Structure formats: C-alpha cells, structure tokens
Amino acid sequence: MRQTFRIAAIGLAAATLAGLGLQPSQATAEDLKGKTISWTIPFGEGGGSGRWARFMAPLLEKQLGATVRLKFVPGGGSTKGANLFADRAEATGLELLGTSGSTQFPFLLGDPRVKYDYAQWTPILAYATGGVVYISPKLGAKTAAELVKINPEMKYGSQGATSLDLVPLLAFEMLGMNVKAVFGMKGRADGRKAFMTGEAQIDYQTSAAYLSKVTPLVKDGTAVPIMSWGALDADGKLVRDPNFPELPHFAEVYEQVKGEKPSGPAFDAWKAFFVAGFPAQKFVVVPKGTPAAIIKVYETAIAEMFKDPEYETNKEKQIGQYPQVTGAEAQLRFKSATYVPPAAKEWVRNWLTTKYNVKF
C-alpha cells in the first residue's frame, strides 16, 4: 500500500508540473535569499499552530536564506485570518498561510463566514497531528469511562461548533457526556486558559500544545488525561496515537462505555471529520498562480530541513512523532483534507443545526 502511495504521489507531481507546461527537470530555482516572507497563522500565539510555526520558521529560514515573519491573526475560529489571506495575498511566493482543521471544517461545511476557497491555494507542506482530552481532577474521575459513569456537568471553551471543535463536541455527544460548550474562544489556547482558571472543567489540545503546555499540568496534578482522538495506520484503521500509547482512543472509550463498537451515521461523520482534521490537519499553502519555480524552491528547502539534525533532534519534543511531507505527498493529503463524503456532510450539518442552531 505504501509503495502504491509513493507511485501515485510521483505520478501526481509529474502531472501537476506537466499541467503547468513544465517537466520536473525543467523547474528552475528562483532565489529567495535575502527576502522577507510573511507567514500568516490565523490563530493566537499560544495554541498548537503557533507552536508548530515557531518551531518551523527558523529552520525554514536556515534553508531558504530568507527571513520568515509570523503574523498571528486570530478570530472566527481561524476564518478571519484565512479570509484576509485569500483577499490580500499575492502569488509572489513571499506570503504563506498555515491552515488547520479549524480552517478546513468551516470550508467543508459551507460556513457563511468563509470567503476563501482551498482550490485557490497550493500546498507546500502537510502535517498530521493528534489531540488529547483532559479533565479537572476535581471531577473525581481518572478515566473516560469513570467520567461518563459519574456524568457531572462540565463546561468546555470552544472556538465554535463548525471549527475543529466539531470532533470533540460530536465525541462528547456520542458518549452521552454532560458538556456545555461555551463559544467565543479565539483558539485552543483560550480554551486551555479557561480550563486553568477553572471556568472550564474539560478541554482538549492538539498534540504540540498538549506536549508543551498541558504535560506540566498533568505532572503537577491539575489535569487528568482521559483519551486521545487516535491515529490512522497504513490501512486506514483507527489505532492508538503513537505519541500517547497509554491513552485509549475515542472508539475504544465508546466501546468501554456502550459495550459495542461505534457505528452508524454519527460515527461515520465523526471519523470523516477526524480524518480531515487530524491525520491531514495542518498545511502551509501559497496562492494559486505562485510560480512553479518558487514552489520547487520551497519543496527543496523543506525536504532539506527534514534532514537537518536540529529538526530531527527537536521535532518529537516540539510537535510530536507525526509525519510532515512536501511535494506530491502533501498534495495528496491536501486533497483528502478538503473533501468529506456527502452523506457525512449532510448528517453533520443537520446535527449542527439541531444541536447548536447553526444556520447554513
């Protein structure tokens, strides 16, 4: 299967360049040395996307010989920053956008706030991630199954029902948990802060933020991890997250609580958006029309960055064990992250309207 994936990836890369009137060997590098590159992150600085970008930017600078400046634009569950990028960014190669599941989901669902179109962007980097749910020790539970049995009322700081928070909100619903979403958070960092002040009793963070920001809370006893969302193996099967092998994934918790494996339209929808939001979650994109030579410069620089000892030494601690890819493999992940089966999309839209009065 992996060999087939590689062959397909190579073919897709060739087809893409051929469609631009170029053969792979004809792509001429355009020098970005000495230039200033603006990388928009449509979130606040304290979340997983911010940590990911701060780790990556200096490593990318080293390979490009350029200055990479991070521009944080929080708001609208990432739609504000993405809209501004779509409206203003020029296809010069000097403007990048870092997207996340919270950027993908509103687009996939037809959220009226979305003014951007993924078809107008080209990916140069793709990154998978995971997520961990944790609770306050004051709830008196040490596992997800215990929590469901106690079933206390809990508040959860959310960026919005159509953001990446769709995955936890639907999971909480399927498990029968008594969770009240408090909307208005500008990013997962705000949700974590609400947890730390006691305003929220349950929270989740993507892996990078969890590893750096929540692990200390676990160590000092102020947070109790109860489950991860999981990961996908080479066959597309849901398995435990390799970064958190001690934690059951969502489907395992469901089976513990309900006595049967999850199935039906709710789980089909959950898994579809989980795939779009985590195994293919983050991307660095440039506007469509960016010269192929510049894209090639980025792809070459990123591939070299993956070999950098500094990257290899610090990657796991900073952003986890998940793979980052460029070139044709990034394009394939981009395609999977920007498509959800129509039946799953329809079910989720109906659920969001009924549960949270979301209007489409």
Q: Which of 2-11, 29-38, 179-188, 253-262 is predicted least confidently?
A: 2-11
Predicted confidence (pLDDT) at residue 296 exceeds the cutoff of 90: yes
Q: Which residues make Cβ contacts (< 8 Å) with residue 197, sequence separation at least 6? A: none
Question: Is residue 146 domain-shared with residue 269, that is, in the same domain?
Answer: yes
Residue 357: inside a domain: no
| Backbone phi, psi, residue 177, to 5° | -80, 145
Residue 270: inside a domain: yes
Task: Give residue 201's pLDDT band: very low, low, confident or very high (50, 70, 90).
Answer: very high
Residue 98: inside a domain: yes
| Backbone phi, psi, residue 37, to 5° | -110, 130
Question: Is residue 44 domain-shared with residue 55, that is, in the same domain?
Answer: yes
Question: Is residue 18 domain-shared with residue 90, that is, in the same domain?
Answer: yes
Question: Is residue 334 domain-shared with residue 256, that is, in the same domain?
Answer: no
CATH number of the domain at 80, please: 3.40.190.150
Domain boundary among 219, 254, 276: 276
| Alpha-carbon span 113 to 88, nearest angstrom | 17
Predicted confidence (pLDDT) at residue 20 exceeds the cutoff of 60: no
Question: Is residue 267 domain-shared with residue 144, that is, in the same domain?
Answer: yes
Task: Give residue 320's pLDDT band: very low, low, confident or very high (50, 70, 90).
Answer: confident
| Alpha-carbon span 9 to 330, nearest angstrom | 9
Q: Mean pLDDT, the chain, as a whole number?
A: 90
Give the pLDDT confidence score for residue 77 in this predicted structure: 84
Predicted confidence (pLDDT) at residue 4 exceeds the cutoff of 90: no
| Alpha-carbon span 352 to 162, nearest angstrom | 8
Predicted confidence (pLDDT) at residue 21 exceeds the cutoff of 50: no
Residue 246: inside a domain: yes
Question: Is residue 249 domain-shared with residue 155, that is, in the same domain?
Answer: yes
Question: Is residue 162 domain-shared with residue 50, that is, in the same domain?
Answer: no
Q: How many separate domains does the chain show?
A: 2
Tell me the one-letter amino acid at 264: G
Q: What is the pLDDT of residues 54-90, one digit of tens each?
A: 999 999 999 999 999 999 999 988 999 999 999 999 9
Give the pLDDT confidence score for residue 10 in this predicted structure: 43
Domain boundary among 255, 276, 297: 276
The alpha carbon of 329 is separated from its chain's Cα centroid by a whole number of angstroms, namely: 17
Predicted confidence (pLDDT) at residue 26 exceeds the cutoff of 90: no
DSSP code string of 267-334: HHHHHHHHHHHTTT-EEEEEETT--HHHHHHHHHHHHHHTT-HHHHHHHHHHH-S--EE-HHHHHHHH
Residue 360: inside a domain: no
| Alpha-carbon span 298 to 52, nearest angstrom | 17
Q: What is the β-pairing status of strands 154-158 and 131-135?
A: unpaired
Distances in whole angstroms, Cα of residue 70 to Cα of each of 73, 92, 278, 311? 10, 17, 23, 19
Q: What is the pLDDT of residues 101-135, one digit of tens each?
A: 889 999 999 889 999 999 999 999 999 889 999 99
Domain boundary among 258, 276, 294: 276
Q: What is the pLDDT of residues 299-315, one digit of tens each?
A: 999 999 999 999 999 99
| Alpha-carbon span 134 to 201, nearest angstrom | 9
The residue written with tokens 């709830």 in the block is 139
Helix (H, G, I), strand (E, B) or coil at 162: coil
**Stretch 286-291: mean pLDDT, rounded?**
96
**Closest alpha carbon to 315 in 212, 177, 230, 180:** 212
Residue 355: inside a domain: no
Predicted confidence (pLDDT) at residue 163 exceeds the cutoff of 50: yes
**Stretch 179-186: mean pLDDT, rounded?**
94
**Closest alpha carbon to 122 in 164, 79, 93:** 93
For Cα atoms 119, 120, 122, give the angle at the middle one, nearest 5 degrees: 85
The alpha carbon of 40 is separated from its chain's Cα centroid by a whole number of angstroms, namely: 15
Residue 260: inside a domain: yes
Range of the domain at 260: 131-276
Residue 85: inside a domain: yes
Question: Is residue 268 domain-shared with residue 291, that is, in the same domain?
Answer: no
CATH number of the domain at 263, please: 3.40.190.10
Question: Is residue 191 domain-shared with residue 306, that is, in the same domain?
Answer: no
- pTM given for the model: 0.76
Task: Give residue 3's pLDDT band: very low, low, confident or very high (50, 70, 90).
Answer: very low
Question: Is residue 11 domain-shared with residue 87, that is, in the same domain?
Answer: yes
- Alpha helix stretches (DSSP H) within the chain: 2-19, 48-64, 79-88, 101-109, 144-150, 166-175, 188-196, 207-209, 215-219, 250-258, 265-277, 292-305, 309-319, 327-337, 342-356
Question: Is residue 259 domain-shared with residue 308, that is, in the same domain?
Answer: no
Question: Is residue 190 domain-shared with residue 78, that is, in the same domain?
Answer: no
Tell me the one-letter amino acid at 276: A
